[in-house]
Amino acid sequence: MQVMEETSVNIIEALKGDIDSIALKLRGFIRDQVTGFKKKGVIIGVSGGIDSAVALTLCVQELGKENVYGLLLPEEESAPSSKTLGAEVCESLDVSYEEVPISPILRSLNIYDQKEQIIKRTCPEYDPDIHKTSLVLPDFLNQGLLNVPYIRLIKDGETAARHRLRANDYLELIGLQNVKQRSRMIVQYMYAEKLNYAVCGTTNKTELALGQFVKYGDGGVDLEPLADCYKVQVYAMGKLLNVNEEIIKRPPSADTWSHYTTDEEFYWRMPIQIMDQLLYAQEHQLPLKVIEKNTGLSADTIEKAWRHINRIRDSTEYVRATPPVCYINR
């Protein structure tokens, strides 16, 4: 951990500073890793979001477009814009890409039907013909409520009902949902091995800190160039790299629910600029007064938010952990 003495630090400016040299460093990292693994290029799952757009652009700049292959991996509940924007970013970089829908894999495992059964027993009024669905957590900063997941039914763009999930249903639902990211991982490796490429991940530092990725799903990759860049830094890099403005403006989402559910609604429970400032301040041990000034939050709210973040960090340790090995000769 680094300790910063300055009391006048502007956290957002500090985060966005020096983006050019960070981009260069990431490019060097990509080359070193691909060369080190003796691979010929990289596969990237392109989701239409900012992280994959930035990772793809950096890979193309460093390795050349002919050594990068994009995969669009939509499923039944993906937003149509994910595919459109993913294709646009590949085309703008002149990268070869292919669409491989993962819905057949999910259907073969009965994922959609099982998910629907959980939603039906949680929300008696659920009608798949009229409702879209979403998994949400209560807002943290304004309400200070616990991390309790709710299924939200949406009709004509408005919330029609919210029901708390029972623990068993929540666990089952997460297991079903995570098959989506894990199916994408399988497809990416199928292509990577065919082409003798490495799989490039797109997880950023905010997601890594909060365990906001699926173990052996989107976390199942060969290199993670963005994993030491907070989300705010990824956005700054997106601007530097001239990523499509529509992608930059699009609210981030895992895009696994029929109603487009943002990461703010399910993971961060606060705006990303606040979350990243809190994480950065924690990492650099900034004085409370500096954090109050930067975030506009009271000392009490900051303390509560840190406890909340620390709980998430602790409870997701398992997600970040590699399988422990028992070394018999040590």
Partner 1 sequence: MEQIKNDIVDYLKANSFMDNSSSLTDNDSLTQNGIIDSIGLLELMDYICEKYSIEIPEDMLTPENFDSLQGITNMITRLAK
Among 149, 201, 220, 252, contact with partner 1 (rule: CB under 8 A): 149
Listed ranges 26-34, 114-122, 163-171, 191-199: which one lies at the site for partner 1 (CB under 8 A): 163-171
- HSE, CB side, 13 Å, CA atoms: give it for residue 304: 15
Listed ranges 23-31, 35-43, 148-156, 275-283: which one lies at the site for partner 1 (CB under 8 A): 148-156
- Judged by CB under 8 A, does residue 299 bind partner 1? no
Give the total of residues touching partner 1 (CB under 8 A): 22
Contact call for residues 173 and 193 (beta carbons, < 8 A): no
Using CB under 8 A as the binding rule, the residues of this chain from 100 to 129 that contact partner 1 are: none
Among 2, 21, 38, 167, contact with partner 1 (rule: CB under 8 A): 167
Q: Give the whole-angstrom CA distance, residue 191 versus residue 199.
A: 9
Q: What's the min distance (Å) between Cβ of 158 and partner 1?
A: 18
Q: Which is nearer to partner 1, 182 or 308 (CB)?
A: 308
Q: Which is nearer to partner 1, 63 or 173 (CB)?
A: 173
Provide the 3-class DSSP secondary structure of residue 97.
strand
- Judged by CB under 8 A, does residue 68 bind partner 1? no
Q: Give the whole-angstrom CA distance, residue 252 versus residue 262.
A: 6
Q: Which is nearer to partner 1, 160 or 312 (CB)?
A: 312
Provide the 3-class DSSP secondary structure of residue 153.
strand
Q: Provide the β-strand partners of residue 70.
A: 44, 97
Q: Give the whole-angstrom CA distance, residue 217 versus residue 211.
A: 12
Distant-in-sequence, close-in-space partners of 312: CB < 8 Å, separation ≥ 6: 147, 210, 211
* Cα first-last separation, the chain: 29
Which residues make up the interface to partner 1 (CB under 8 A)? 138, 143-150, 162, 164-168, 170-171, 304, 311-312, 314-315
